[in-house]
């Protein structure tokens, strides 16, 4: 009967046929059966049906099939199912689907899948999903995705992910994200990223981050950022960084910062900078610093500054 049904062009389904089919161990699918199944409102799945569906080359999805699949506990994925799912406009996710997807090696993403994933509360990541996401051009972020990503140990960044992250309002950072970001060559900054970074306790700097930060118009500083910057060997200054630093109340200096400041053309002084400089043991002067100091209204001297001034090089 099944062999005949598979060859039959007049396929329809009923509740009774479906109930019997679900119990049937000899499950196979044909294009005609599938076309009828897609129109069927009484969709349910069994392990046998799923095993047969996985071997089927004629995979398509319907709203009814998807609604049934989401309720199904026996979720598994095949390459054919995934290829069909990617073309499907009615994408939704369930816990069971996600569990199966995480174990799946054939991961790829579509716009529809991503839109559905963003609305999904059960977000988790796997290496395979991340590898596919990095190649994906349609990147967006949601609160749920970010919460899961922060717990993820397999963090990496791509240009597309970064472009989407910059537009994201729900920015937060984790140690793993920061470690990956420091190794990332495609660094840029946004207001949201900076606001999150300022609250982050795990601050570290890289050349790429510093180069991007120097071009950033939204510069602000935090205690954690300053502590990390003081230990950073790749110090450079920009106008925006300096403007923010001058407004900063918790100023400290390091040898690396001082070396960079000495080479900086945009030198200016503030009360906070001067207070920190007076307490600084690593005092040195440059022509630019001296020119700015001469124009500075808040002049005071310390022993260290005076000692450095008297052994300073001769300025042109």
pLDDT tens by residue, 162-183: 666 666 555 555 665 666 665 6
How confident is the model at residue 38, as a pLDDT?
61
Question: Do residues 206 and 182 lie in contact, with contact meaning Cβ atoms separated by under 8 Å?
Answer: yes
DSSP letter for 247, please: T
Question: Do residues 142 and 121 lie in contact, with contact meaning Cβ atoms separated by under 8 Å?
Answer: no
Q: With a cut of 70, which residues of the chain have pLDDT below it?
A: 1-316
How confident is the model at residue 95, as a pLDDT?
63
CB-based burial label for 277 (10 Å; 0-12, 13-18, 19+): buried
How confident is the model at residue 316, as a pLDDT?
36
- Nearest-angstrom CA–CA distance, 159 and 163: 6
**pLDDT tens string 100-149:** 666 655 555 666 666 666 665 555 566 666 666 666 555 556 666 666 66
Q: Which residues contact 19 (CB under 8 A, 6 or more apart)?
A: none
How confident is the model at residue 315, as a pLDDT?
42
How confident is the model at residue 260, as a pLDDT?
62
Q: What count of Cα atoms within 13 Å lies in the side-chain half-sphere of residue 2?
A: 9
């Amino acid at each position: 009967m099944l062999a005949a049904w598979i060859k039959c062009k007049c396929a329809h389904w009923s509740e009774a046929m479906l109930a019997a089919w679900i119990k049937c161990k000899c499950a196979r699918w044909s294009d005609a059966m599938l076309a009828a199944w897609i129109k069927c409102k009484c969709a349910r799945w069994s392990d046998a049906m799923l095993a047969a569906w996985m071997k089927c080359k004629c995979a398509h999805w319907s709203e009814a099939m998807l609604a049934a699949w989401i309720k199904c506990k026996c979720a598994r994925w095949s390459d054919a199912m995934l290829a069909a799912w990617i073309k499907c406009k009615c994408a939704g996710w369930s816990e069971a689907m996600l569990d199966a997807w995480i174990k799946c090696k054939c991961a790829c993403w579509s716009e529809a899948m991503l839109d559905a994933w963003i609305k999904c509360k059960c977000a988790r990541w796997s290496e395979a999903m991340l590898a596919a996401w990095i190649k994906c051009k349609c990147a967006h972020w949601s609160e749920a995705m970010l919460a899961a990503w922060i717990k993820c140990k397999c963090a990496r960044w791509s240009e597309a992910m970064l472009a989407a992250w910059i537009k994201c309002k729900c920015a937060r950072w984790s140690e793993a994200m920061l470690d990956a970001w420091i190794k990332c060559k495609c660094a840029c900054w946004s207001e949201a990223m900076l606001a999150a970074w300022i609250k982050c306790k795990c601050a570290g700097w890289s050349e790429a981050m510093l180069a991007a930060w120097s071009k950033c118009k939204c510069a602000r500083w935090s205690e954690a950022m300053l502590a990390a910057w003081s230990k950073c060997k790749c110090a450079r200054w920009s106008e925006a960084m300096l403007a923010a630093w001058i407004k900063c109340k918790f100023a400290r200096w390091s040898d690396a910062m001082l070396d960079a400041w000495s080479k900086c053309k945009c030198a200016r002084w503030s009360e906070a900078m001067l207070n920190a400089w007076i307490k600084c043991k690593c005092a040195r002067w440059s022509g630019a610093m001296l020119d700015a100091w001469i124009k500075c209204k808040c002049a005071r001297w310390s022993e260290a500054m005076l000692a450095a001034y008297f052994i300073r090089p001769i300025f042109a």
